Amino acid sequence: MKIALIGSRGIPARYSGFEQFYEQLAVRLVQRGHDVTVYNRSHFIKDVKKEYRGVRIVSLPSIQTKHLDTLTHTALSTLHALFKGYDIVYYCIVGNSPLVWIPRITGTRTLINVDGEDWAREKWTGFARIYQKWCEKIACKSANIVIADAKGVLERYRSLYGHEAVFVPYGANIRTNMRSHQGSRTEGESTDGSNDDNLWALRKWNVVPDEYILYVGRFVPENAVDLLIRAFRRLDTDKKLVVVGDAPYADEYKEQLSELAKGDDRIVFTGYAFDDAYEQLSANAYFYVQPSGVDGTRPALLDQIGFGNCVMVRNSKVNMEVIGDCGHFFDRNRLEDSLVEEMQALLEDRARVEEYRRRAVSRIEGYYNWEWVTSFYEDLFERLIERRDFVQYDSFIADVKENLIQGNG
C-alpha cells in the first residue's frame, strides 16, 4: 500500500505523542513492505530530509504561529499529497478535519485520529476553542474513518455525534532491560551510578538512579505541570523531581513554572531530552507522574509503562483505562492534596512501587503492543481500500491471541 501520514511535526519524534506514533507506525509499515511518506514541518525538523529509516520524508513550510502552524502545514501537505496517488492518507489532530475530505476527490481513503478533547486544552480560548469543538463534528463527515485512541473517546463520539469511530490504542516498546543494567536496581551494588558510563545524562543533571520522581511532557496548562510542582514542594523527601519537556508558544506558562520552582533545588528542568538521554532518565526513575486531566491517551504514559516504571495518574476515565491494575492514581476531585498524599505514600512504600513495576510489562505485552497495533492498521487499511467491514481493536487482538494459542502464527 502507498500511505501518507500528515498533520504532525514529523519524524524522528521530537515533540509529542503523535510524532512518536507516526514514527513507530511508519517504520514498521515500511519494514512490512509498504511505501510510506511522512510530511515534516521544515522549520521544526531541519536535519532530516528525504528519508528516515526507510520512510520517505517530505519537508514543507508553515506559518509559524500557535493558531496557524498546524493548519497551514496540513493544508500545504494535503495539496502536495493530492497528486501522489496515495491509497491511504492518515491525519492526526481534530483541528485538521476540515481538510481531510480533499484527498477523497481522487479516490484516496482517509482517516483522522481525533485524540482526546482537544477543545478543552487551556491553550485554546475564544474562537479557537469553538473551532476545535466544531471540528469534532466535521471529522465525522470528512474522513472515511475516525480513529479513537481510547474507549472513552470512542464512547464520546458515539453519544455526542452518533458516530461509530474505530478504536485503536497507541503502543509502547518494552525496555525493561535498561533498568536491570543499572547499579541501583541490584541489591548491594552502587546506588549513585558513579561507576556506570551509560549514565551520562543523570550526571549531566546531577541526579542518581531511584532518587527522583519523573515527569515527561509538553509545558502546557492542561498537562498540569504546575500542579505537580506545587504538590512536590509539599513532600517530605530528599528525592528530586525531574521535569522533562518544553513547548513552543508557551513562554508565559514556562515562566510560571520557573517561579513555582524557585528556591527548591530538588526540582530539575532538563528541557527536551531525546534518544539516550530520555532513555536513561526514564529507566532510572523511582516512579513517574502524569498529572494531566484532559481525556485522551498519553503516549508518554505508555512509554513509561514500557520502561517498567511505577506510574501515577490522575483518575480520569482514559488514564484509568490505560493503567488498568498496573499503576497508581490520585483523586481528580482533591487534586493537590490527593497528589501529595499518594506521592508520599509511594515514597514510603517501596514494595508497592516494585509491585507496579512487575505488573507493567504485562500491560504492554498483552494490549498496548506496537506490533499488534501495526498489524491492526494493516488490516484496517486493506479493509478500507477494499470497502469491507471494519473490526475493533479488541476483537482483532482476541483473534490474534486465539491463533497464537492454537499455534497458527
- One-character DSSP codes across 383-406: HHHHTPPP--HHHHHHHHHHHHHT
> Is the confidence at residue 374, as pLDDT, over 80?
yes
User: Cell 484516496, residue?
Assistant: 108
CB within 8 Å of 120: residues ≥ 6 apart:
222, 294, 295
Residues 35 and 133 in one domain: yes
- The model's confidence at residue 186, banded by pLDDT at 50, 70 and 90, is very low
Instruction: Examine the pLDDT at 195 and tell me if it is beyond 60.
Output: no
pLDDT at 402: 79
Residues 296 and 384 placed together within one structural domain of the fold = no
Residue 156 and residue 72 in one domain: yes
Q: Residue 157 is which amino acid?
A: Y
Residues 323, 329, 331, 336: is their CA dihedral positive or negative? negative
Q: Identify whether residues 263 and 381 lie together within a single domain.
A: no
| CA neighbor of 297 nearest in space, from 272, 324, 262 | 324
Comparing 154-163, 195-204, 205-214, which segment has the lowest mean pLDDT? 195-204
- The reply to whether 185 and 324 lie within a common domain is yes
Q: Return the pLDDT at 188.
A: 33
Tell me the C-alpha distance between 213 and 219, whole Å.
17
| Structural domain for 87, as ranges | 2-171+369-405
How many Å apart are CA 212 and CA 150, to the nearest integer?
A: 30
Q: Which of 87-91, 312-316, 358-362 has the lowest mean pLDDT?
A: 358-362
Of the chain, the percentage scoring pLDDT greater than 70 comes to 91
Is the domain of 269 the same as that of 387?
no
Q: Work out the burial of residue 126: count CB atoms within 10 Å of its CB; fewer than 13 is exposed, 13-18 middle, 19 or more buried.
A: exposed
The tally of domains found in the chain comes to 2
216 and 359 share one domain:
yes
What CA–CA distances, in Å, run from 59 to 13, 36, 51, 136, 167? 14, 14, 10, 27, 30
Residue 105 has pLDDT above 70, yes or no: yes
Do 263 and 399 belong together in one domain? no
> pLDDT band at 299, cuts 50/70/90?
confident
Largest CA distance in the chain: 66
Please report the pLDDT score of residue 123 as a whole number: 56
Report residue 182's pLDDT band, with 50, 70 and 90 as the boundaries.
Answer: very low
Cα end-to-end span (Å), the chain: 23
Whole-number Å distance between alpha carbons of 326 and 307: 13
Higher pLDDT, 402 or 5: 5
State whether the Cα torsion 196-202-206-212 is positive or negative.
negative
Type of residue numbered 390: F
Angle at 382 between CA 376 and CA 386, to 5 degrees: 145
For residues 311 and 85, give the distance between their C-alpha atoms in angstroms, rounded to a whole number: 43
* Residue 238 CA: distances (Å) to CA of 211, 255, 271, 347: 8, 25, 22, 10
| 150 lies in the same domain as 198 | no
CATH number of 270's domain: 3.40.50.2000
pLDDT score at 197: 63
Question: What was the pLDDT predicted at 184?
Answer: 39
More confident residue, 161 or 67: 161
Predicted local distance difference test score (pLDDT) of residue 181:
46
**DSSP class of residue 172?**
B
Which pLDDT does position 180 carry in this prediction?
45
Q: What pLDDT is recorded for position 88? A: 98
Give the tens place of pLDDT for each residue, 15-73: 778 899 999 999 999 999 999 999 999 999 999 989 999 999 999 999 988 889 999 99
Q: Could you tell me where the DSSP H helices lie in 36-97?
A: 69-81
371 pLDDT exceeds 80?
yes
User: Is the pLDDT confidence value at 187 over 60?
Assistant: no
Asked whether residue 107 falls in the same domain as residue 44, the answer is yes
Whole-model pTM: value is: 0.82
User: For residue 4, which of 28, 31, 22 has the smallest C-alpha distance?
Assistant: 22
SS3 200: helix
357 and 229 within one domain = yes
For all residues of the chain together, what is the average pLDDT? 89
User: 134 is written with which cell numbers?
Assistant: 466544531
pLDDT tens, residue by residue, 221-272? 889 999 999 999 999 999 999 999 998 878 899 999 999 999 999 999 999 8
> Is pLDDT of 4 > 60?
yes
Of 95, 90, 127, residue with least CA distance to 111: 90
Q: What is the DSSP letter of 253?
A: H
Kindly state whether residues 10 and 120 are assigned to the same domain.
yes
